[in-house]
Structure 1
Amino acid sequence: MTTGFFHDERCLWHGGGNYAQMAPVGGLVQPIAGGGGLPEDPETKRRLVNLMRVTGLMSDLSERSAPMLDREDLLQVHPAAYLDAFEAASDAGGGELGLRAPFGPGGYDIARLSAGLVSGALEAVLQGALGNAYALSRPPGHHCTADWPNGFCLLANIALAVRRAQALGLCRRVAVLDWDVHHGNGTEAIFADDPEVLTVSIHQANNYPLDTGGFETRAQANLNVPLPPGCGHDSYLEAMERLALPAIRAHEPEVIVIACGLDAGAFDPLGRMLAHAGTFRAMTRQVMALAAETCDGRVVMAHEGGYSEVYVPFCTHAILEEMSGSAVRAEDPFAATLAQRQPEADFRAFVSDRIGAMAAARGLSSRTPRHALKARD
């Protein structure tokens, strides 16, 4: 099995432009370090690439890029009026069309490239050229609805990739699992009336957006799993085992697409969870086992949130180790302290009861709560 890694340096040049930076940028002038004060900066991704080159993991992957999506592809999800406004603002130097999603000069084309990386990864897996793939997409996409850019997201990367793959006849039934710490409201909204695409979001309750992500939400094929702040490793794996994975299995997808946010990591400034690199490794293992059972191992990950420059690279490295089966390891330098910081047994039991209630309400697995089992990950 070959794992593809799709990335492009141009995506790391996305920034807020003069909207968020004092220095003029654009053309061949790279945005200043740290994205000009925006939490969604390029360094988490650049440091991941550097880490993989230093450890040697990159040599075990098929390193690729992909072309920008063209207007016809974008129109499968986004209305012409939005695309016209986005392109015009991008050509005029940047700005902001929605909420918390600024962009600089050339932002329209960079967003098209980011979406193209996800599409390229999905198509390569569906065509059998790769066993699975990871797209280091930036800007992210899961908060963007059809006509409202939101939360750093300018185009709906995963939705665009799925619609293009469906239009090409490469797949019909798809499961999208979002484990970003924030609710994947854009992806959910775009597929709300489509029974062929299941959307599952495991996220911190009442984080972002504040008006979406409730368990009670019902669409054609959708499941929201809001978890209380402070959940750690065991609660995430239990939510996967009792809710997300049974729902995906029942959907019988031809491919599983992950909205791979790393902001549930314990050091993230925009989340309040206690996941660690081992959590992301274990969730990846769970998904790959299910994919082997249901869809010939076809898994595609699209990078979403994650704002700790130090820790995101280790979490993503662990995911790619698991996806590729590589023997290369980047040991988590924070593993010992994060093991000590995991929630106490009574809190895990409280969360387990909530997970059990959600599983019962949706008629999903009611297996033994994870907190009652001997830890094995």
Structure 2
Amino acid sequence: MATGFFWDERTFWHGGGNYAFTLPVGGLIQPLAAGGLPESPETKRRLVNLMNVTGLMGELDVRTASEASTEALLRVHPQSYLDTFKEMSDNGGGELGLRVPFARGGYELAALSAGLSIAAVEAVLTGDVQNAYALSRPPGHHCLPDYPNGFCLMANIAIAIEAAKAKGLAGRVAVLDWDVHHGNGTEAIFYERDDVLTLSFHQEGNYPLDTGALADRGKGAGEGYNINLPLPAGAGHTAYLHAMDRVAIPAIRDFAPDIIIIASGYDASAVDPLARMIATADTYRQMTHKVKDLAAEVCDGKLVLVHEGGYSEVYVPFCAHAAIEAMSGSAINLADPFGVTFEVRQPGARFDAFLIAEIDRMAEELGL
């Protein structure tokens, strides 16, 4: 079966309204490249363009999806939040939370982003495709049930999980978040539950500042089902692959999920403006290979990557292309035009040894 690729041009038209510009946007007025937000549509649009040029798009089962229904949204977000969001969206946009402005129509675009995630997860769980990639925008892993933040307006992955559960398609779900920022929204939604394992790799002390601690393991029935791995700034290729082998793979294997969902942000890359990590396109390629192999072992290959952050318009397309190649089994093997430069910038042997020791220490504290 092919790899599914779920996307919609309309999601690229989400913008920050008049957040940074006096020009009106929304409706049929397409946002400027940045749209007032560091979370630019160009990282995703350039990915689609790159995939078309290399031929990768032609190897995938390309689909779109409908907006998530109100019923689906209400499984995660309260009616009061949805009502306020919709009213502001219909009246020109605004800002509901922290660092998450939107223009007119932002509600429908966020619901479409969630709908892409729902469709990708359902297609994999029903066996319609082997695995899938959801190019969701706006992202979702920072969004709390009633408080959006960090460019995230709806909790895409959580909404997709609850939709699958409502249809009886999945019992246990593992969410691995390798976005460089802590997945605080996903964590909060499932913090007291034992049917969803949430695991986040993130740069320590980046965003949000008050979440993502190693000691935060869940609560009540969820005790032990939340794992945070706060990595020191400067972690690169070797550290990320060691974190996969030492923490993510054994934790997910022990949990034995029905499906693995990756919150796939690319802001741990070497040139991202909102972080200080040194991952490369090959880092994402190899991490995806590892989790694909794990999915084949524990859940019949059921794997979904949902696009989250990543703010380098130049490099995100190559990082995501590498991940999609890996999950689809493509033989394109696109060369990274920045690879040699970023290999030279990788941490030296002494710092890598420190990072590996830190990851091992944290793994022991986590009981892994």
Shift in Å, 1:194: 1.0
Question: 1:20 and 2:20 equivalent?
Answer: yes
Q: Which residue of 2 aligns with 1:94?
A: 93
Q: Distance in 1 between matches of 2:269 and 2:26?
A: 32
Task: Look up the SS of the partner of 2:100 in the other structure.
Answer: coil
Task: Look up the SS of the partner of 1:153 in the other structure.
Answer: coil
Q: Which residue of 2 aligns with 1:113?
A: 112
Contact 1:23 1:32 in 2 (8 A): no
Question: 1:69 and 2:68 equivalent?
Answer: yes
Q: Distance in 2 between matches of 1:13 and 1:7?
A: 13
Q: Distance in 2 between matches of 1:56 and 1:269?
A: 29
Task: Look up the SS of the partner of 2:357 in the other structure.
Answer: helix
Shift in Å, 1:353: 1.1
Task: Look up the SS of the partner of 1:12 in the other structure.
Answer: helix
Q: Distance in 2 between matches of 1:18 and 1:197?
A: 38
Partner amino acid, structure 2, of 1:200 = L
Question: 1:48 and 2:31 equivalent?
Answer: no
> Which structure 1 residue ranges, 4+ long, deviate > 3 Å from structure 2?
none
Q: Which residue of 1 aligns with 2:247?
A: 243
1:157-306 to 2 correspondence within 5 Å?
A: 157-219=156-218, 220=222, 221-306=225-310
Shift in Å, 1:362: 2.0
Pick one of 324, 335, 340 that aligns with 2:339.
335
Q: Distance in 1 between matches of 2:310 and 2:126?
A: 30
CA deviation string 1:215-239 (max 9, x = no partner):
0112011100000000110000001
Q: Distance in 2 between matches of 1:343 and 1:97?
A: 40
Shift in Å, 1:351: 1.0
Shift in Å, 1:99: 0.3
- Cα RMSD of the aligned pairs, angstroms, is 0.7
Q: Distance in 2 between matches of 1:137 and 1:111?
A: 9
Mean CA deviation greater in 354-363 or 158-167: 354-363
Shift in Å, 1:320: 0.7
CA deviation string 1:235-266 (max 9, x = no partner):
00001100111111111100000000000000
Contact 1:145 1:186 in 2 (8 A): yes
Q: Distance in 1 between matches of 2:21 and 2:188?
A: 32
Q: Distance in 1 between matches of 2:355 and 2:26?
A: 47
Shift in Å, 1:322: 0.6
Mean CA deviation greater in 151-160 or 338-347: 338-347
The alignment's TM-score, normalised by the length of structure 1, stands at: 0.95
Give aligned pairs, total: 363
Shift in Å, 1:329: 3.0
Partner amino acid, structure 1, of 2:308 = E
CA deviation string 1:284-328 (max 9, x = no partner):
000001000000000001000000000000000000111111112
Task: Look up the SS of the partner of 1:356 in the other structure.
Answer: helix
Contact 2:15 2:26 in 1 (8 A): no
Question: What percent of counterpart residues are identical?
Answer: 63
Pick one of 312, 316, 320 that aligns with 2:316.
312
Task: Look up the SS of the partner of 1:216 in the other structure.
Answer: coil
CA deviation string 1:50-105 (max 9, x = no partner):
00000000000011001001111111000111000000000010000100000000
Question: 1:353 and 2:357 equivalent?
Answer: yes
Contact 2:155 2:186 in 1 (8 A): yes
Q: Distance in 2 between matches of 1:326 and 1:231?
A: 28
Partner amino acid, structure 2, of 1:3 = T
1:356-371 to 2 correspondence within 5 Å?
A: 356-364=360-368
Shift in Å, 1:35: 1.9
Mean CA deviation greater in 314-323 or 16-25: 16-25
Question: 1:34 and 2:38 equivalent?
Answer: no
5+ unaligned residues in a row in structure 1: which ranges? 365-377
Partner amino acid, structure 1, of 2:96 = L
Partner amino acid, structure 2, of 1:344 = G
Contact 1:19 1:94 in 2 (8 A): no
Contact 1:200 1:222 in 2 (8 A): yes
5+ unaligned residues in a row in structure 2: which ranges? none
